[in-house]
Chain A
């Protein structure tokens, strides 16, 4: 760098800003076109054998039929030509070439037997094989009115009702002194931390099993950061409006809503898992499961009302909070049971995590006994209690 170099004067050019932004992109396009036109190495015909990759996104079983929804998550087109089930070829429909990121449903005519395991090989045009497994065959539910109703009921059982019951702790919360309220908020944070960690593990597991072309595990992190930023933005906007309106005292309701949204996103994920497990026949629908989820999710209701100790809240608003937190379980059950897509589910799990982290960041200052002081025994006890309560009630579910 020369000592005498002069700084470039601002606005040295009269060109509009949009042109300055587009110029490098246009140059890039010209360069690529030139390389292609000259037949330079690195473009055109690929070297080596094609890479054939398919991910099985969904398996649907109907009497005499196994349907696999596959997605091409490799770099090259894949054509499934034959399908063998437990070492026997059976006719199928839906074969043919699948382009990159494309998806297809292969329907195999096969007399499967309930409860048995199946190993399926998809034989491609080059003779490569892609394996899919069914651990225990069970008929997939048909998506009809009865099914939609059942999934809604399931979502209400595990989401809406427990949260609503948990919110009935509100009178207790109102009567509590400041120390106990702080303890309850800490309990809420511990609970949310547990849910966040749980969603992270589940999300990563689902992402790993699904196609990688859309990002795989990165989708969980993408969903988390996206929802965190979105929640933070909304939160900032709400705070601005509140400041302008000078409605002091609405902070509790605002925090309760954020918690409800975070828990709602979590329950969406829980619904997805319940719905897809039910569709796969892997869910033992029984009183035990429903009771387990009810106890587990009742604590979530407490988390929502914890910030409302000094805030007035109409029954309608409370009901709204409960629905925000609980109703997504219904939506999740519908999606999970009918169009389970690993990439979408990974993203949604990530969104749940981001929302939870944002809520924890919001609550955290309120755990301190006084502004700027350190956390005390009440806060630590509450945090540990929240984690322990979720862990213990989680044991009841076993799904």
Chain B
């Protein structure tokens, strides 16, 4: 919404440092339910999810929130600690076909085989589909998706590999896949270029193989490029595209965060803001990480209709690698600001246990859904 941000008040200064977020209601959590009908289920996610200890997070904590979210100190004007949705965490992830908690560590490595000469060919199949998704408890949005999810699958590969992405348009509208990377013009996924070789705009029922080399390494993107462009992006046709350096990066607990938003009433401003689609999801389901373990966040901003977005972390600083194209961090900071399609890699360790907030320091977005927590155990 294009209304100036208002200040929240805590007139008595009573807000405790470790107060749980406000929010009530039953939780729906179906972490194993991945893309419905997705041809390329991730192999890494369930394993990683089970490896990270998170006792008390899925069960106990949610109940604690429901029971004690409002306890303690009602101030003169009420006792809510944070902006939050009604209905708490009541989004039906099973119906959506994806769960933001699972999405964090869901990297789609595709399928590989050796080409003559020893080079790796990595292949994916991506279907564009129309699908209604729940972006806030009870609020449904007619999204356009890659493989049934928003953001689309996080495509991951290694520098120097040959990539082939088979794109099938199973939507009722023409779409493309436009990758940020180095490639030929007819592989650019832009209408009007490449139609002669079967590319360009892909009509419903059509398909096309995008093929190019994985370069340069870094945190990149893909998205639809059919006009009207803003609408095609805003409706959900985007995803992260990660190219690892040839020699890899240090072992870490890796997380993908695509900052996005939804213009549910079609007025060219957004009603719901989020990381990985569901507003306030990580406020109600904090992200479990280990104390002192290296955490690597692949962060991108895909918010349409607003000029900037940002990521700010409480109680910590992180190394910022803009676009992830250098192995040397550009700065040590606790906030990054991004225009649309800007992205980066953040690396940090949490030295102390506890619950640490992260949110857009465009605070308007924070209170419209873009707020979450890390739970450091």
Closest A residue, CB atoms, query B266: A127
- The interface residues of chain A lying within 8 Å CB-to-CB of B1 are 84, 87, 121
Interchain nearest-CB distance for A308 vs B (Å): 56
Contact of A127 among B24, B87, B141 (CB under 8 A): B141
Q: Are B84 and A91 in contact (CB-based, < 8 A)?
A: yes
Interchain nearest-CB distance for B273 vs A (Å): 10
- In the assembled complex, A311 has its CB within 8 A of some CB on chain B: no
Interchain nearest-CB distance for B297 vs A (Å): 24
- The interface residues of chain A lying within 8 Å CB-to-CB of B5 are 87
Q: Are B264 and A127 in contact (CB-based, < 8 A)?
A: yes
Partner-binding segment picked from A106-114, A177-185, A339-347, A379-387: A106-114
Closest A residue, CB atoms, query B136: A82
Given A79-B138, A82-B136, the answer on whether A91 and B78 have CB atoms closer than 8 Å is no
Q: Are A82 and B77 in contact (CB-based, < 8 A)?
A: no
Given A84-B368, A127-B140, the answer on whether A90 and B77 have CB atoms closer than 8 Å is no
Q: Are B3 and A86 in contact (CB-based, < 8 A)?
A: yes
In B1-20, which residues have CB < 8 Å from any A CB?
Answer: 1, 3, 5-6, 8-9
Closest A residue, CB atoms, query B84: A91
How large, as a class, is the contact surface on chain A?
Answer: 20 to 34
Q: Are B367 and A88 in contact (CB-based, < 8 A)?
A: yes
Q: Are B8 and A123 in contact (CB-based, < 8 A)?
A: no
Interchain nearest-CB distance for A386 vs B (Å): 48
Mark A14-33 against chain B: 1 for CB-CB distance below 8 A, else 0.
00000000000000000000
Helix, strand, loop or mixed for chain B's interface?
loop
Closest B residue, CB atoms, query A124: B139
- In the assembled complex, B80 has its CB within 8 A of some CB on chain A: yes
Given A95-B138, A126-B140, the answer on whether A90 and B6 have CB atoms closer than 8 Å is no
Q: How many angstroms between the C-alpha atoms of A129 and B267 in the bound complex?
A: 10
Contact of B75 among A81, A88, A111 (CB under 8 A): A111
Mark A113-129 against chain B: 1 for CB-CB distance below 8 A, else 0.
10000010101111111
- In the assembled complex, B265 has its CB within 8 A of some CB on chain A: yes
- The interface residues of chain A lying within 8 Å CB-to-CB of B24 are 91
Contact of A91 among B9, B22, B271 (CB under 8 A): B22
- The interface residues of chain B lying within 8 Å CB-to-CB of A111 are 8-9, 75, 77-78, 80
A interface residues, Cβ below 8 angstroms from B: 63-65, 79, 81-84, 86-93, 95, 109-113, 119, 121, 123-129
Beyond the given pairs A89-B369, A90-B80, A123-B271, 13 more chain A to chain B contacts, judged by CB atoms under 8 angstroms and listed by A's residue number, are A84-B368, A87-B1, A90-B86, A91-B22, A91-B84, A91-B86, A95-B86, A110-B78, A110-B80, A121-B1, A123-B264, A126-B140, A127-B265
Between A and B, 12 residue pairs with Cβ closer than 8 Å are: A63-B76, A81-B87, A82-B86, A87-B1, A88-B368, A89-B83, A89-B85, A89-B136, A89-B368, A109-B78, A109-B79, A128-B265
B interface residues, Cβ below 8 angstroms from A: 1, 3, 5-6, 8-9, 22-24, 74-80, 83-87, 135-141, 262, 264-265, 267, 271-272, 279-280, 364, 367-369
